Amino acid sequence: MKLNQEELELIKSLQNEEWKQIDEFQKKKLEYEKYANKTLRKDKSVSQEDSKWNLSKNSG
């Protein structure tokens, strides 16, 4: 299996111990999951509003 440049750089950084452990990983993970979910919900409602506007514009 051939690795691309990005994958090779990741392996090199792991071998050089450039990665750091995240304190309270599970807490941080949940925090960022909440941010992601809120962003997705916001994008969904905006796209629904865009669709409603486009439908009313095209029907009139």
Instruction: Answer whether residue 40 is part of any domain.
Output: yes
Q: What is the largest CA-CA distance in the chain?
A: 63
Instruction: Answer whether residue 36 is part of any domain.
Output: yes
Q: Decide if pLDDT at 27 tops 70.
A: yes
User: Average model confidence (pLDDT) for the chain?
Assistant: 82
Instruction: Answer whether residue 13 is part of any domain.
Output: no
Q: How confident is the model at residue 41 (pLDDT cuts 50, 70, 90)?
A: confident
Q: Tell me how many domains the chain contains.
A: 1
Q: Decide if pLDDT at 18 tops 80.
A: yes
Range of the domain at 30: 23-60
- Dist CA 54 CA 46 (whole Å): 12
- pLDDT for position 34: 93
Half-sphere exposure of 23 (CA within 13 A, CB side): 0
Instruction: Answer whether residue 48 is part of any domain.
Output: yes
Instruction: Answer whether residue 10 is part of any domain.
Output: no
Instruction: Answer whether residue 44 is part of any domain.
Output: yes
- Dist CA 28 CA 47 (whole Å): 29
Mean pLDDT of 6-25: 95
Instruction: Answer whether residue 39 is part of any domain.
Output: yes
Instruction: Answer whether residue 18 is part of any domain.
Output: no
